[in-house]
């Protein structure tokens, strides 16, 4: 009986707590300000339409650094700075070209793009027979004899039955990332991959790939073809295994270049050494303008600090926006930020990343211990009026991952993911596919969580230095 009473008491306390009127009011202010006087959409417009795609090491990436720094400078934060980081520079070169040759002179042109990090095809392009596989494991089964001299075609689609599209992506992306290094071991001369896209369309989707330890002279070119073309190629192969595939790409790796993470902060007035970081990545792939991936996350993160200021909130802890450079093909920005934070003995208590598109926010996933997770769950009802229901343990974000440490709470914004992979790394990741309200709701949702974490702190913070 006593246990029951305690349970009931706990329930009552929790309930009262989560209904805290000040918090309700502050969340109302944050959402209203974002929806009526948000800056995220205007910033994204500039980033997408005035700058555009901003692959690490490009002139556009540099322009994005300067632009976002200038915007942070204008917000009256306590400090804005650039954190230098060397980044890789891979350049696509002139547009790729590909076709299926079913008999000499009879060709079907194919929508193709080089994977980020790939080598070029030989001078004049590469033409070879094709062997279709459903994944890396198939290579061993098929054996070197049948693969040697051919182009390996990875054609395992994303699973439409999975509700979380990122899970479907996770189940497929090894083909893109490691497909070339694995196929090279079996003597393949090139790799083409079905685009990581849940729908059938004509757009090829790029993304990072790695050669791992493959020596330079053994590296084979890798490219993605559209889902429609993957279906076509697979269908044609079923009829004729001896057809040939041609592709030509002129991509190239240059030496690393200097770039920057862009950082701004509001100093905490009670616990300035406890740092809350909110961010996204400033670099993007080069085919679209990077509006969803991850312009959205950058402008939302910038607006988190502005929304807290606009609503008159004075943070107890130091709140930092970090626009990470080079998430897409190296994660150098995320690694650098964590390295310097650890070097300086900075005490990060919470880090939040938005890198899943600018769609209607549904909630967060948390990478933290049970105690902190349970504490956060008590705030869930505060978010219900904004249709934010999803609070689960899970993945946070690539850029904040390197910060991971005991006691630190990592979180990722989880927007609706159904349309994300229609645009991801493709030429239609563009501004017109971001809805202003959805973007602003995301910024407000992030600002609300940052507010609550700042106000109530996290459990078991590490010992504060300095």
Residues 144-163 that bind a second copy (CB under 8 A): 160-161, 163
Interaction between residue 340 and a second copy (CB under 8 A):
no
Q: Are 395 and 366 in contact (CB under 8 A)?
A: no
d(CA 264, CA 74): 11
Which one of 327, 346, 353, 440 is the catalytic residue? 327
User: Closest distance between a second copy and the C-beta of residue 285, in Å?
Assistant: 21
The smaller minimum CB distance to a second copy, of residues 405 and 438, is found at 438
End-to-end CA gap in the chain: 49
User: Closest distance between a second copy and the C-beta of residue 226, in Å?
Assistant: 16
The smaller minimum CB distance to a second copy, of residues 332 and 362, is found at 362
Residues 272-311 that bind a second copy (CB under 8 A): none
User: Closest distance between a second copy and the C-beta of residue 256, in Å?
Assistant: 39
Q: Which of 106, 144, 199, 267 binds a second copy (CB under 8 A)?
A: 199
User: Closest distance between a second copy and the C-beta of residue 276, in Å?
Assistant: 25
Interaction between residue 362 and a second copy (CB under 8 A):
yes
Residues 402-431 that bind a second copy (CB under 8 A): 416, 418-419, 422
Interaction between residue 106 and a second copy (CB under 8 A):
no
Interaction between residue 435 and a second copy (CB under 8 A):
yes
Interaction between residue 364 and a second copy (CB under 8 A):
no
Residues 31-90 that bind a second copy (CB under 8 A): 31-32, 35-36
User: Closest distance between a second copy and the C-beta of residue 292, in Å?
Assistant: 14
Binding piece for a second copy, criterion CB under 8 A, among 51-59, 107-115, 302-310, 380-388: 380-388
Q: Which of 198, 304, 308, 338 binds a second copy (CB under 8 A)?
A: 198
Interaction between residue 437 and a second copy (CB under 8 A):
yes
User: Closest distance between a second copy and the C-beta of residue 309, in Å?
Assistant: 19
Handedness of CA 411, 413, 416, 419 (dihedral sign): negative
Interaction between residue 360 and a second copy (CB under 8 A):
yes
User: Closest distance between a second copy and the C-beta of residue 282, in Å?
Assistant: 26
Q: Which of 316, 436, 455, 462 binds a second copy (CB under 8 A)?
A: 436
Q: Which of 8, 10, 140, 371 binds a second copy (CB under 8 A)?
A: 8
HEC states along the chain?
CHHHHHHHHHHHHHHHHHCCHHHHHHHHHHHHHHHHHCCHHHHHHHHHHHHCCCCCCCHHHHHHHHHHHHHHHCCCCCEEEEEEEEEEEEECCCCCEEEEEEECCEEEECCEEECECCCCCCCCCEEEEEEEECCCHHHHHHCHHHHCCCEEEECCCCCCCCCCHHHHHHCCCHHHHHHHHHHHHCCCCEEEEECCCCCCCCCCCCCECCCCCCCHHHCCCEEEECHHHHHHHHHHHHHCCCCEEEEECCCEEEEEEEEEEEEEEECCCCEEEEEEEEEEECCCCCCCCCHHHHHHHHHHHHHHHHHHHHCCCCCCEEEEEEEECCCCCCCHHHHHHHHHHHHCCCEEEEEEECCCCCCCEEEEEEECCHHHHHHHHCCHHHHHHHCCCEEEECCCCCCCHHHCCCCCEEEEEEECCCCHHHHCCCCCCCHHHCCHHHHHHHHHHHHHHHHHHHHHCCCCCCCCCC
The smaller minimum CB distance to a second copy, of residues 198 and 278, is found at 198
327 is catalytic: yes
Q: Which of 1, 94, 238, 239 binds a second copy (CB under 8 A)?
A: 1
Interaction between residue 5 and a second copy (CB under 8 A):
yes
User: Closest distance between a second copy and the C-beta of residue 305, in Å?
Assistant: 21
The smaller minimum CB distance to a second copy, of residues 32 and 106, is found at 32
d(CA 261, CA 7): 47
d(CA 317, CA 319): 6
Catalog residues that contact a second copy under the rule CB under 8 A.
Answer: 1, 4-5, 8, 31-32, 35-36, 160-161, 163, 165, 198-199, 360, 362, 385-387, 389-390, 416, 418-419, 422, 435-438, 441
Catalytic residues: 327
């Amino acid at each position: 009986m006593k246990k029951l009473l305690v349970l009931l008491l706990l329930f009552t306390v929790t309930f009262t707590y989560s209904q805290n009127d000040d918090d309700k009011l502050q969340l109302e202010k944050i959402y209203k300000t974002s929806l009526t006087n948000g800056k995220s959409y205007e910033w994204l417009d500039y980033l997408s339409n005035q700058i555009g795609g901003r692959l690490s090491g490009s002139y556009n990436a540099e322009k994005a650094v300067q632009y976002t720094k200038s915007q942070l400078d204008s917000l009256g934060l306590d400090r804005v700075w650039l954190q230098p980081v060397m980044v890789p520079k891979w350049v696509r070169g002139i547009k790729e070209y590909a076709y299926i040759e079913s008999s000499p002179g009879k060709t079907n042109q194919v929508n193709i793009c080089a994977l980020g990090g790939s080598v070029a095809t030989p001078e004049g392009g590469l033409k070879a027979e094709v062997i279709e596989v459903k994944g890396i494991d198939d290579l061993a089964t098929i054996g070197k004899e049948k693969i040697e001299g051919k182009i390996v075609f990875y054609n395992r689609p994303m699973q439409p039955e999975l509700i979380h599209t990122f899970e479907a992506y996770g189940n497929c992306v090894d083909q893109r990332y490691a497909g070339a290094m694995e196929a090279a071991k079996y003597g393949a001369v090139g790799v083409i991959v079905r685009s990581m896209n849940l729908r059938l369309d004509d757009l090829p989707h790029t993304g990072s790939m790695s050669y791992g330890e493959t020596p330079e002279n053994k590296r084979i070119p890798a490219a993605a073809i559209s889902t429609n073309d993957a279906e076509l190629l697979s269908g044609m192969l079923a009829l004729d295994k001896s057809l040939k595939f041609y592709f030509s790409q002129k991509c190239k790796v240059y030496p690393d270049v200097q770039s920057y993470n862009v950082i701004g902060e509001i100093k905490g007035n009670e616990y300035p050494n406890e740092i809350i970081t909110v961010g996204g990545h400033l670099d993007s792939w080069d085919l679209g303008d990077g509006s969803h991936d991850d312009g959205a996350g950058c402008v939302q993160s910038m607006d988190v600090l502005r929304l807290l200021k606009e609503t008159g909130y004075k943070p107890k802890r130091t709140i930092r926006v970090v626009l990470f450079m080079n998430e897409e093909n190296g994660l150098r920005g995320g690694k650098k930020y964590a390295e310097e934070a650890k070097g300086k003995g900075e005490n990060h208590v919470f880090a939040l990343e938005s890198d899943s598109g600018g769609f209607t926010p549904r909630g967060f996933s948390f990478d933290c211990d049970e105690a902190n997770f349970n504490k956060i769950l008590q705030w869930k009802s505060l978010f219900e009026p904004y249709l934010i229901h999803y609070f689960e343990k899970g993945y946070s974000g690539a850029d904040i991952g390197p910060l991971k440490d005991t006691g630190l709470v990592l979180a990722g914004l989880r927007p609706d993911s159904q349309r994300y992979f229609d645009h991801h790394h493709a030429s239609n990741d563009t501004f017109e596919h971001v809805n202003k309200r959805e973007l602003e709701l995301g910024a407000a949702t992030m600002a609300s969580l940052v507010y609550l974490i700042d106000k109530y702190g996290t459990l078991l913070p590490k010992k504060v230095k300095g």
